[in-house]
Amino acid sequence: MKRFLISIGIPVYNGERFLRESIKSALSQSWSEKEILVVDDGSTDSTQSIIRSFQGNIRSFRIEHQGVSKARNVILKESKGLWIQYLDADDYLLEDKIETQIKECPNIQKYDVLLGGLLVEEWERGQRKKNCFQPEYLTHTYLDPFIQWFNRYNPNVAGCLFLREALLKIGGWNESLRFGSEDNELYMRIFQSSLRCFWTCSKRAVYRENWTTKSLSKSYPVEVLRTEIKLFDQMVEWLQQKNMLSEQRKLAACRAYFRILEDLALFRYDEALATYSRLLQQNVLPMKQWYRKFSKSWIGRIFGFPMRSWLRRYCFAAKRIEKKIIK
């Protein structure tokens, strides 16, 4: 097999706990033609000290804190490889990840993105809970990419390889997103741009799940949910304009909206209800019919989304009060 250079890019912000292991996993890749780039997104912990300990083996950059998308774009700009392997600073790769994935793709020159699964380490209260396992949804056959996208079954970035020129072609990472969903937004543009994707079988990237309580979804839940709704709006509008909004995709979109709206209603009931009303008025998706048929709650099936969400909100508030009293 002809060897070509692959850039392994690690964006990091205050990642002192796992950064060393992440860099070591990149350096130990069996694929010999590689370079490792680490971009420090304005860390205030010992991240810089860890980076300096690898001087001579990696290329490093330090920028003002602007978010992971900016750091990933620096990697995209500065990389010299034909393909890019992104790796978050709290995840790691098994030593044969890149080589195995490339071997599993016949005629790699025909593709723009190699999509792959990952292994997950479950964490609880700062300790590893279980050994690696494969998320269930990634065992299913890869079918309609837009339905997968609405269902949030997009592969973890670490499980993939991206052709550098293809990422540049679609504009790289969206730096305007400050509350997560940057991966989902990128996959939206990948699928809309008809980049040539190939699914590989092996799972050789490892994602640490729930090791910290400082995630964006926990720190800024409302902002994260609003970002998701905006992305759903953009995808539905694009599919409608392209005459590609099939009935199955409509159902997937309904499911996606309600998953987010039910969570938003716990924090901002009026805002969730206003978004629901907007979607009903647009009359593009069968929102009311979907909820009455597919809601997991008999209350939702009988009384609809507004009543179901109102009750969930007050149950949620009661539980929070109870926890405070116990403390």
Work out the angle between the directed axes of helices 305-326 and 269-282 (0-180°, nearest 10).
160
The pLDDT of residue 141: 47
The pLDDT of residue 19: 98
* Alpha-helix runs per DSSP H in the chain: 19-27, 47-52, 68-78, 97-103, 145-150, 164-169, 182-192, 216-219, 221-241, 247-267, 269-282, 287-294, 298-303, 305-326
The pLDDT of residue 143: 76
The pLDDT of residue 320: 61
For the chain, the domains span 6-216, 220-326
Torsion from C-alpha of 126, 129, 130, 134, nearest 10 degrees = -60
The pLDDT of residue 305: 85
The pLDDT of residue 139: 45
> In the block, which residue shows the tokens 């509008």?
237
Summarised one tens digit per residue, pLDDT across range 226-261 is 999 999 999 999 999 999 999 999 999 999 999 999
Q: How far apart are CA 276 and CA 182, in angstroms?
A: 24
Summarised one tens digit per residue, pLDDT across range 58-79 is 999 999 999 999 999 999 999 9
Contact in structure between 86 and 69 (CB atoms under 8 Å): no
Residues of the chain with pLDDT under 70: 1, 136-142, 213-217, 299-300, 303, 314, 316-327
The pLDDT of residue 128: 82
- How much is the pTM? 0.91
- As a CATH number, domain 6-216 is 3.90.550.10
Q: Smallest Cα–Cα separation from 18: which of 156, 121, 134, 97? A: 121
